[in-house]
Structure 1
Amino acid sequence: MTQRGFDDGSDEDDDFPEWADRVKANVAGEVRRRRKEMGWSAQELADRCEQLGHPIPRNVIANMESGRRVNLPLVDVMVLAAALETYPVCLIFPVGYVEETQELPFQSLVPTWAALRRFTGEEDVFGYDAGLVPDFEAHASLVSTALAALEEEERARFTAKTATSRAQQAEAERRRTAYADQAISAKYRLRYLRRDLREEGATPPPLPPALGDVDPPESDTDTSEERP
């Protein structure tokens, strides 16, 4: 299903307002669709926005949904998404409900799914700087790997202790050693990734208690100077 109501002509004078209006229409249409899906009135949505700490009056929501609202602040999109229990990017790029959209002024229409993936960085764009997002994604993956390996190591340890035969015990010990090595490898890579992040001036994500030994202890105060 595609939202309509836009002239897809190539008149360059209309490209910028068409793009801006298209973005607002995407958000408005998805807000309306999601609100009705949840069985809410515009007033109920307004009440929920107020509960979240950023009031958006019912008449503002109604004007937005009908296309009469001129401006659509980013903060409103963020709160509307939270109120409707979805993600802001899903309001801007309603995959499955809008077939094509524009990513920027003067650009051709592209599939909404492709636009969303580029907006979130899931699809690389040549020459674009992804910042530290890939590093944080790698960090999350390593944390998940380390935790899973530690859990499996503990299960294998229990199996080895409760084994009823030497063969079962040996197999459990083999598995325990393999998972222990996997956890050590992930933790080792995490330690150096976190070091690199700090050297970039960034703060690494917090670690779960089970991985509290990943970061090296803080350096002791320098005591190399001679004492009286």
Structure 2
Amino acid sequence: MTQRGVDADEDDVPEWEDRVKANVAGEVRRRRKEMGWSAQDLADRCEELGHPIPRNVIANMESGRRATLPLVDVIVLAAVLETYPVCLIFPVGYVDRTQELPFQDLVPTWDALRRFTGDEETFLYDAGLIPDFEAHDNLVRTALAALEEAEQARFAAKTASNRTQQDEAERRRTKYADEAISAKYKLRYLRRDIRDEGATPPYLPPALSDVDLPESDTNTTPEERL
């Protein structure tokens, strides 16, 4: 059956669903052979992971005879094959062009993957809290790095052999301590915003345990208690 909206010079264009399954099947087969495994080897490893996928099911998938492709199978196959699920769905470098939705034109697989993961924004699409969690991760990294630099500078000041070295180390310690506090302030505001959305903020490492205020201090301003 030829779909509307795809390359007109193709006499028999696969349905979108068939194309997605073919992408996954082809990449599973390629990675399986790359790892030197038989279909039975792959089935055994899926079972070891806790989600059995029989050898005949894998063989039917790779040959295109399998009618369905459950998401849970894709997740387990990716883990066993030591890759990411999105790399099975959009095999960049091995499938040049693919189809994102039914009746759409073929697009570069790399572009489809980036839209699928949210790395490339799509007009009017809601990214949910992904940008907030990315910002949170960056702030945590910044705060931890600043704390580490401040501690190293504190040690340098303590062990300095002269006043000049001590003053320089103290300047560095103050600089990085201020950077850490600034990152913590931003984290505190961001985590409050995430909670206001009814969501749970990401995990905080112990070194940043003072970012969240105790419940008894919810009226305290974000600049306090850091």
Common fold: TM-score over 0.5: yes
Does the Cα contact within 8 Å between 2:92 and 2:110 map onto a contact in 1? yes
1:54-65 equivalent positions in 2, closer than 5 A: 54-65=51-62
2: distance between equivalents of 1:40 and 1:158? Answer: 53
Q: How many residues of Structure 1 are paired with residues of Structure 2 in the alignment?
A: 215
> Which SS does the other structure have where 1:219 is aligned?
helix
- 2:18 corresponds in structure 1 to 21
Root mean square deviation of aligned Cα: 2.1
2:166 aligned partner? 169
Q: Secondary structure at the match of 1:122?
A: coil
Task: Kindly indicate whether residue 56 of structure 2 is the aligned counterpart of residue 51 of structure 1.
Answer: no
Q: Work out whether residues 75 and 85 of structure 2, in 8 Å CA contact, stay in contact via their aligned partners in 1.
A: yes
Q: Which residue of 2 aligns with 1:214?
A: 211
Q: Matched residues in 2 for 1:168 and 1:96: separation?
A: 54
Q: Give 2:186's match in structure 1, choosing from 169, 185, 189.
A: 189
Q: Is 1:142 aligned with 2:139?
A: yes
Is the contact between residue 146 and residue 177 of structure 2 (CA under 8 Å) also seen in structure 1? yes
Query: Which amino acid is the alignment partner of residue 41 of structure 1?
Result: S
- In the TM superposition, what whole-angstrom CA distance separates every residue of 1:67-96 from its partner, at most 9, and x where no partner exists? 111111111101100111110000000011
- Show structure 1 runs of 5+ residues with no match: 1-5, 221-228
Aligned with 2:198 (options 192, 201, 213): 201
2:8 matched residue in structure 1: 10
Shift of 1:168: 1.3
Tell me the TM-score normalised to structure 1 length: 0.89
TM-score normalized with structure 2 length: 0.90
User: Match of 2:8, as an amino acid?
Assistant: S
Q: AA paired with 1:34? A: R
Amino acid in structure 2 at the alignment position of 1:191: R
Q: Give the ranges of 4+ consecutive aligned residues of structure 1 lying more than 4 Å apart after TM superposition.
A: 6-9
Q: Is the aligned partner of 1:119 residue 2:116?
A: yes
Matched residue of 2:207: which SS?
helix
Q: Which segments of 5 or more consecutive residues in structure 2 lack a partner in the other structure?
A: 218-226
